[in-house]
Amino acid sequence: MATLQKTEEMTAPVKLVVIGLGWIGRKHAELIDAHSQCTLVGVGDVDAQHASFAAQINAPFYSEVEELLESEAPDGAIIATPNGCHASVAELCARQKVHVLIEKPLANTLSEARRVVDVAETSGIRVVVGHHRRHSPFIQTARSIVRDGELGSLVGASMLWALMKPMDYFELPWRRQRPGGGPTLINLIHELDSLRFICGEIRQVYAQASSASRNFEVEDSLSLSLLFENGALGSILASDTAPSPWSYEATTGENPHYFHAAENCYHFFGTRGALSLPAMEVWKYAPGVPGGWQHPLERVTRKVIPQDPLESQLKHFCQVVRNEQRSLVDAGDGMRSLAVALAVLESAESQRPVEVSH
């Protein structure tokens, strides 16, 4: 990997384009437009109806990726197209030596993800995969607490992710169909990536899934059992058809499109203590107190200042483009999170535990 560097000529705003103008693509475009470290030089989508959005933010609109890249000569591109197009668009960017931020999941299949890994290696472009929660101060603080041994040896982690998606969410057919639809690849891949980031690699998954509530082709509810390489265990109960306050989005308040609830959604357990998130409460015995259920636990709350992880991710991408930082989630890392999610789907279909392919 090239040596990290910073030169005077690199202090100018990074020129970025957004490819794909669905909800998340538009969000990226608006963040770029408001950011001091970068400038939006163009946007693209195969659907010409999105030209009206481009006009609203005063950005040139293109219906062809090649024309966008050649005409605007950006430093970086945010790829927010459907998942199945990520690899082919990344290849077009690589030909122009344009660094990329690719929305999660990296692809629909491991073979497509491998194409992105290979094109990054052969072309030398830098890749950031859009697992933006890694930039959340809640997730980063939890990682420090767990990885630094404050809880002792990790025993396990438990996650709840339950909410009610409105029916108009499913007006886009791909959200209720394979290969890219369903909460595993749309939502739970965030939880799985966060677990990898905080706790370490996941070795095996066993999943049960149900589509009984909506009878779609894709699942609406899942129960997961996880085995980490360090011997810790994990569990996730997930549903996008159950009204509840126990989801990452609702509890952290990071996404203003969700109502906020003062609840916890993640819990981590070690041999010397436990952690709740996003309350960031560490429960431990006081110094000198012997272990045992008859003894009281002390609660210490870790101070966390909330930040928009999408904004932090954009700042990080600009630094990666300038070669000032290494990617927090490169293509290989993004492929490993995809491998876990695909193992979940395989396990649910086969009704057996599945070893995660790395």
Q: And the tokens for 337?
A: 């999170």
Please, what is the Cα angle at 137 between 132 and 139, to 5 degrees? 65
**Cα(288)–Cα(298) distance, rounded to whole angstroms?**
12
pLDDT in tens, the chain (358 residues): 444 444 444 479 999 999 999 999 999 999 999 999 999 999 999 999 999 999 999 999 999 999 999 999 999 999 999 999 999 999 999 999 999 999 999 999 999 999 999 999 999 999 999 999 999 999 999 999 999 999 999 999 999 999 999 999 999 898 999 898 999 999 999 999 999 999 999 999 999 999 999 999 999 999 999 999 999 999 999 999 999 999 999 999 998 889 999 999 999 999 999 999 999 999 999 999 989 999 999 999 999 999 999 999 999 999 999 999 999 999 999 999 999 999 999 999 999 999 998 7
Q: What is the CA radius of gyration of the chain?
A: 21
Phi/psi-derived region of residue 123, left when phi > 0, alpha when psi is between -120 and 50, beta in every other case = alpha
Between CA 271 and CA 319 the distance in angstroms is 38
pLDDT of residue 257: 85
- Look-up of token digits 């409460």: 281
* Inter-helix orientation angle 86-95/65-72, to 10°: 30
- Residues 146 and 151: their CA atoms lie apart, in Å, by 6
Q: Which two tokens stand for residue 35?
A: 């950011």
Residue 162 — φ and ψ, nearest 5°?
Answer: -140, 130
| Long-range pairs of 300-303 with CB within 8 A, sequence gap ≥ 24 | 302/141, 302/145
The dihedral formed by the CA atoms of 81, 100, 40 and 66, expressed in degrees to the nearest 10:
-70
Identify the CA nearest to 256 among candidates 303, 305, 309.
Answer: 309
What was the pLDDT predicted at 255? Answer: 87
* Residue 216 CB neighbour total at 10 angstroms: 15
Task: Return d(Cα 50, Cα 43) in angstroms, integer.
Answer: 9
What's the pLDDT at 162?
97
pLDDT at 172: 87
Burial of residue 341 (CB within 10 Å: 0-12, 13-18, 19+) is: buried
* Burial class of 218 by CB neighbour count within 10 A (0 to 12, 13 to 18, 19+): buried
Rounded Cα gap, residues 234 and 249, in angstroms:
20
pLDDT of residue 290: 87
- Angle of helix 189-199 relative to helix 331-350, nearest 10 degrees, comes to 120
Domains defined along the chain, listed by start: 8-125 (3.40.50.720), 134-308+339-355 (3.30.360.10)
CB count in 10 Å sphere of residue 174: 15
Tell me if residue 132 falls in helix, strand or coil: helix
Please give the backbone phi and psi of residue 346, each rounded to the nearest 5 degrees, phi first: -65, -40
Question: Please, which residues bridge with residue 269 across strands?
Answer: 156, 274
Q: Do residues 251 and 133 lie in contact, with contact meaning Cβ atoms separated by under 8 Å?
A: no
Q: Which residues in 211-315 belong to E strands, given as ranges?
A: 221-228, 233-239, 266-270, 274-277, 281-284, 298-301
Q: 105: which 2 tokens?
A: 């999941």
* In contact, 22 and 80? CB cutoff 8 Å: yes
Q: What pLDDT, on a 0 to 100 scale, did the predictor assign at position 174?
A: 87
| pLDDT 10s digits, 232-274 | 999 999 999 999 999 999 999 998 889 999 999 999 999 999 9
For residue 127, give the nearest of 340, 339, 275, 333 by alpha carbon. 333
